Amino acid sequence: MAATFTQPHAHGRLFSTSPLPKPTKNLRSPFTVRMSLQETGPSIAVVGVTGAVGQEFLSVLSDRDFPYRSIKMLASKRSAGKQMTFEDRNYTVEELTADSFDGVDIALFSAGGSISKQFGPAAVEKGAIVVDNSSAFRMVDGVPLVIPEVNPHAMQGIKVGMGKGALIANPNCSTIICLMAATPLHQRAKVLRMVVSTYQAASGAGAAAMEELELQTREVLEGKPPTCNIFSQQYAFNLFSHNAPVLPNGYNEEEMKLVKETRKIWSDLDVKITATCIRVPVMRAHAESVNLQFEKPLDEDTAREILKNAPGVVVIDDRASNHFPTPLEVSNKDDVAVGRIRQDLSQEGNHGLDIFVCGDQIRKGAALNAVQIAELLL
């Protein structure tokens, strides 16, 4: 029942992501030796390198000693020409064009759906394997939608060096974080229905949204009206239904991603899911309240053991000291944390569980998952 995170109160780490390209520090410990820059590794491109997820791609590549031969820093024309340092080497941010992918083995995309649609197929044509963090290709037949701990088999056969490009989609952050905890339970007892309510951080709307939350909070504390550029309403000390467009069925696009992506990732078109997605004034980690209904009985002790042994999952479920997962505690962490594991009183015969899940939206919800996919390509 004990937590395993080492920094439960990560003070002063909330505002580490800036929308402006700034020199990227080598985030690894000075006591580790970087083994990755080698002649034999793949050639990488990072598309959207100046954004919140782009910057995190670099941190994760460095943290995991991802081997690479070369790395291209790609962004929009606006950011082209800016200088960056990464792992003690200097880089100039290049403008993304159709020619950017000559000789690139793996392209990590996180620059929005329209950029992915415009340049993803071009990169594939040049022989690159694109790991795309946008929603552009997630639901396209034949494009694997992958959480490495959950369905690595979906990208079987796709490897660097196979002589052709490919598209692989990174699921939406809310889907990844939910399924990291729900899948091990699904594999044991088969989820029939899932009711999800999310508590989503600013980071999901990008670095500018994080800055706006900080700015608004300062303004409200000073008694000033809050600046609303990214969102249409006050975010500081407030929360609101996710800003994604609402579809004719009344669900917003964020909610339908959870429904549809789960079905694709689990290869289960029958699983019933409803979701309510809410933005809360938190910086960079999402939380989700998940109610599960199972085909087979599953008691909470078994569920807790399954989750303790699940890869990429940490159980924080200390009832006596009221210590459960929080967004702050998982911020800048790789693992998804799960707690509040309990038999659902509203379902009979041990067929229901409630759980509460937290995960870093930028890291496992985006950059880490994509780099893990890239690792499977080697």
Summarize as ranges the residues that interact with a copy of itself (CB under 8 A): 8-9, 11-12, 14, 193-195, 197, 199, 213-214, 217-218, 220-221, 223-226, 232-234, 237-241, 243, 245-246, 249-252, 259, 272-274, 276, 278, 280-283, 287, 289, 291, 300, 319-320, 322, 324, 326-328, 339-347, 352, 354, 356
Q: In the complex with a copy of itself, which residue's Cβ is closer, 49 or 207?
A: 207
**CB of residue 5 to a copy of itself, shortest distance in Å:** 13
| Per annotation, catalytic residue among 173, 178, 277, 358 | 173
Q: In the complex with a copy of itself, which residue's Cβ is closer, 259 or 378?
A: 259
Report the relative pairing of strands 70-75 and 94-95 from DSSP bridges.
parallel
Give CA–CA dist 134/65, Å, rounded: 25
Give CA–CA dist 336/181, Å, rounded: 8
**CB of residue 118 to a copy of itself, shortest distance in Å:** 26
Q: Is 173 a catalytic residue?
A: yes
Closest C-alpha to 323, from 12, 1, 13: 1
**CB of residue 281 to a copy of itself, shortest distance in Å:** 6
Give CA–CA dist 302/296, Å, rounded: 13
- A 10 A CB-CB count for 71 gives 26
**CB of residue 227 to a copy of itself, shortest distance in Å:** 12
Q: Is 351 a catalytic residue?
A: no
Which sign, positive or negative, has the C-alpha torsion 232, 238, 243, 249?
negative
Q: In the complex with a copy of itself, which residue's Cβ is closer, 133 or 135?
A: 135
Element (H, E) at 93: none
Evaluate whether 259 touches 313 at the Cβ level (below 8 Å).
no
Q: In the complex with a copy of itself, which residue's Cβ is closer, 197 or 302?
A: 197
Give CA–CA dist 119/116, Å, rounded: 5
| Per annotation, catalytic residue among 178, 242, 277, 286 | 286
- Active-site residues, by number, are 173, 286
